[in-house]
């Protein structure tokens, strides 16, 4: 099996992938950050993730540096939430799954590798996509799903099932958070005037 660090960023999901078709849409109503497979990712759920990270960062050493290094966190978090749903769809289509025990075992291994739970949490806060302590298990599940898809299809062909899953999920993104970039599989600048974006996403009021 291919080995990966659980807190790493997947090259497959960040590499260019023009086959992944999804876009922002004026049909996404206020209070919704994105719609993936007909299911809403609410602004409240997204902002809760951001708040957890900011709280953990504020309590950490060099908090100012950590916060400054993670500007635009709300957009990045939304991108990861969408990517997770793409992985879940692709894994389900392939008959693959990740159990709670799988995540627990991965958590134990990562804790041992980091030489303690506190150190693991510190590393999580310093990751490219910062993680609050209660978000580590979700990232482990993300990486385990990605690893199993890579093992099944090969790292050079994993974009094929991901592209199929993304297309079938009909992803729509609230332009307040940007537009879904099909080449980078990430959120970029919005091109629709659905929302008059006067502030950065993190500064916008809840529920907007």
| pLDDT tens-digit readout, 156-189 | 898 889 888 988 998 999 999 988 766 556 676 6
Q: Which residues have a Cβ under 8 Å from the Cβ of 25 and sit 6 or more positions away?
A: 35, 172, 173, 192
> Is residue 1's pLDDT more than 50?
no
Write the burial class of residue 139 (CB in 10 Å: 0-12 exposed, 13-18 middle, 19+ buried): buried
**pLDDT value of residue 125:** 94
At 39 the pLDDT is 94
Cβ–Cβ under 8 Å, residues 22 and 185: no
CB 64 within 8 A of CB 163: no
pLDDT tens digits, one per residue of 196-208: 333 343 443 333 3
pLDDT in tens, 14-56: 443 434 444 444 456 779 999 999 999 999 999 999 999 999 9
Give the C-alpha separation, 190 to 19, whole Å. Answer: 19
Domains, the chain, ranges and CATH?
11-192 (1.10.4030)
């Amino acid at each position: 099996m291919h080995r990966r660090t659980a807190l790493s960023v997947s090259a497959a999901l960040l590499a260019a992938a023009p086959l992944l078709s999804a876009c922002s849409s004026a049909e996404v109503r206020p209070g919704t950050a994105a719609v993936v497979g007909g299911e809403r990712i609410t602004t409240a759920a997204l902002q809760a993730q951001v708040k957890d990270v900011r709280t953990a960062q504020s309590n950490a050493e060099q908090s100012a540096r950590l916060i400054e290094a993670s500007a635009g966190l709300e957009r990045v978090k939304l991108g990861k939430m969408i990517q997770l749903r793409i992985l879940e769809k692709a894994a389900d289509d392939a008959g693959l799954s990740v159990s709670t025990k799988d995540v627990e075992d991965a958590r134990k291994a990562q804790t041992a590798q980091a030489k303690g739970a506190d150190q693991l949490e510190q590393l999580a806060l310093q990751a490219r996509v910062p993680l609050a302590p209660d978000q580590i298990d979700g990232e482990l599940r993300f990486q385990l799903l990605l690893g199993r898809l890579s093992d099944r299809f090969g790292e050079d062909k994993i974009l094929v099932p991901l592209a199929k899953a993304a297309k079938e999920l009909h992803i729509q993104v609230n332009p307040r958070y940007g537009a879904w970039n099909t080449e980078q599989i990430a959120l970029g600048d919005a091109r629709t005037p659905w929302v008059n974006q006067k502030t950065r996403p993190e500064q916008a009021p809840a529920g907007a």
